[in-house]
Amino acid sequence: MDYSVKSSAATTLKTACLVAGVYQGGELPPATASVDKAARGAIRKRIGTGFEGEAGQTLLLFDVPGLQAQRVLLVGLGKRDGFDGRAFRKAAGSAAKALAATGAAEGATLMAELPVEGLDTKALARTLVESSEHALYRFDRMKSRGNAGKAPALKRLALLVASGGAATAARRGAATGRAVARGVATARDLGNLPANVCTPSYLASEARKLARKYPALKVRVLSEAEIKRLGMGALWGVARGSRQTPKVVIFEYAGGRKGAKPVALVGKGVTFDAGGISLKPPAKMDEMKYDMCGAASVFGSVVAACEMKLPINLVGVTPAVENLPDGNAVKPGDILTSLSGQTIEVLNTDAEGRLILADALTYVQRFKPRAVVDIATLTGACVIALGHHASGLMSADDELAGELLAAGERAGDRAWRLPLWDDYQDALKSNFADFANVGGRDAGAITAGCFLSRFTKGMRWAHLDVAGTAWNSGNDKNGTGRPVSLLSEWLIATSGRG
């Protein structure tokens, strides 16, 4: 969808549908109140007749007097006290869905003028665009023609703001929102694709497409032969049980000074995780197509950085493999030699993400990054610890952890920190190799983080476990695009553009 910003008066604006917020209990925000005044109270009159302004409620009004708008869409904002970014995102999402459902080709919204705790005009416009795009996202690429559902007519949304100064800020914010939304949609699409389409080779070819699209982006793909020749024994150990050839996709985005140290993102790209010889139970195994969402979030963040033309250098490394049982697969007890030289006893072949990340994290050191963040659907234990609300953050670097937590908070894409104390390292003891790939059942998310920490010595590094946040299960099964929004916000902050 196209977004524009206008500082013209809402009452004289010709539009198919004007979107206006209403607080729970019927109180009107200033912009809605002035429209209501021009409409001689037509809005206020309708409140309490089934529409109470509750969060997520909407009501479509026709023939509102005193306005040039054909229709007015009222959107419930919930309670005015504590109306914050989270409530705003929710309301903006329901507004976008309801607006699309009207069948209008364009609309105008007063929501960019709402007073929201902690969000200035620019942030508000970004959030509005991001939330609208998120709500309007559809994935029906895999349905045959008759079942794909017709594309919504809605093509343009105007964000109304009070002044010319606000318009400039809102325009910047909307552009950022559009860029981040593109990144989020990229990640969602890759996650939602089935594993028979989205293979390691598919990821590699999608990456090459991006490099053709964005001049500042270079892509390199390591082939199976190169993976073996380099000595990525941990990655190869996972890949060897699959007919799909592994790839390592490397993005280099050059938006910063030549020679300036890059920021690096490393994403787990297991295009399907059956568990290997330590086979997973059948329930919900289909969802393991989402086990490449860490990689997808790197693709998405790279897209967002390119779209924003961020003044930084950024490296993305995404190891991509399939984890299947096979006569050639790695077995429990097998010992792999990683790219770092450290040997790993594979006690459970289902703990494969950390194996491919181990080699990717060693590989990324050659770029001398000023910070490295890895993103992975790494452990079921993280879902037990934090549920589906927060991504798990682990880092020995308090400053980096603080930056990421704050970015997630601002972006409405939250993470929560778990400790990465040395006390947990003992769980990885092996009688035969340098260490094992699993600890016990206790603190499974943390011992996985401990495993990764052994491949990040001397680097400023953080780990995001997105096992609980990268997709929704059940009836609304769908990729979420998380944590692209968090990462984009962090990249913006590290670029100094803020």
Write out the residues near ligand BES by the rule CB under 6 A: 273, 291, 348, 350-353, 377-381, 383, 438, 444, 467
Torsion of CA 165, 168, 174, 178, to 10 degrees: 180
- Residue 387: CB minimum distance to ligand BES, A: 12
> Cβ of residue 275: shortest distance to Mn ion, in angstroms?
5
Taking the complex as a whole, the smallest distance from the CB of residue 421 to ligand BES amounts, in Å, to: 19
Cis, peptide link before residue 483, omega less than 30° from 0:
yes
3-state secondary structure of 117: coil
Q: What is the DSSP letter of 143?
A: S
Q: How far is the CB of 291 from Zn ion (least distance, A)?
A: 4
Q: How far apart are the first and last CA of the chain?
A: 25
Of 256 and 380, nearer to ligand BES (C-beta) is 380
Half-sphere exposure of 18 (CA within 13 A, CB side): 30
* Contact status, residue 206 vs residue 217, Cβ threshold 8 Å: no
Beta strands in 13-53 (DSSP E): 18-23
Instruction: Tokens for 338, please give them.
Output: 């990683």
User: For residues 273 and 322, which CB has a smaller minimum distance to Zn ion in the complex?
Assistant: 273
Based on CB atoms, which residue is closest to ligand BES, 87 or 466?
466
Residue 332 contact, options Mn ion, Zn ion, ligand BES, none, Cβ 5-8 Å cut-off depending on partner type = none
Which CA distances in Å does 169 have to 43, 133, 289, 408?
29, 20, 40, 22
Pick 76 or 468: Cβ nearer ligand BES: 468
Q: Which is nearer to ligand BES, 287 or 397 (CB)?
A: 287
User: How far apart are the C-alpha atoms of 126 and 312, rounded to whole Å?
Assistant: 20
| DSSP at 47 | B
In whole angstroms, how far apart are CA 290 and each of 7, 294, 299?
42, 9, 14
Structure tokens, 6 = 């206008």
Is the CB of residue 377 less than 8 Å from the CB of residue 352?
no
Interacting residue ranges for Zn ion, rule: CB under 5 A: 270, 273, 291, 353
Comparison of 133 and 350: residue with beta carbon closer to ligand BES: 350
Query: Which tokens sit at 493?
Result: 């902050």
Helix (H, G, I), strand (E, B) or coil at 287: helix
Minimal distance, residue 273 CB to ligand BES, in Å: 5
Least separation, in Å, of the C-beta of 290 and ligand BES?
A: 7
CB 452 within 8 A of CB 360: no
CA pair distance 11, 275, nearest whole angstrom: 60
The entry of Zn ion, ligand BES, Mn ion, none near residue 444 (CB within 5 to 8 angstroms by kind) is ligand BES
Cα–Cα distance for residue pair 28/13, rounded to 1 Å:
20
For Zn ion, the closer of residues 191 and 369 by Cβ is 191
Is 382 in contact with 467 (CB distance < 8 Å)?
yes
What, of Mn ion, Zn ion, ligand BES, none, does residue 380 touch, CB below 5 to 8 Å by kind? Answer: ligand BES
Measure the CA angle with vertex 337, ends 331 and 343; round to 5°: 90
Per residue, what are the HEC states of 73-105? Answer: EEEEEECCCCCCHHHHHHHHHHHHHHHHHCCCC
| Nearest-approach distance from CB 430 to ligand BES, in angstroms | 14
Tell me which residue has tokens 């594979």. 346
Question: Which residues lie near Mn ion (CB under 5 A)?
Answer: 273, 350, 352
Q: Which residues make beta-bridge pairs with 15? A: 69
As given in the structure block, the two tokens for residue 432 are 């035969």
Is the Cβ of residue 131 or residue 199 nearer to ligand BES in the bound state? 199
CB of 478 to Zn ion, least distance (A): 19
**Which residues are part of the catalytic machinery?**
280, 354
| Greatest CA separation for the chain | 81
Choose the one of ligand BES, Mn ion, Zn ion, none that binds residue 7, judging by a C-beta under 5 to 8 angstroms depending on kind.
Answer: none
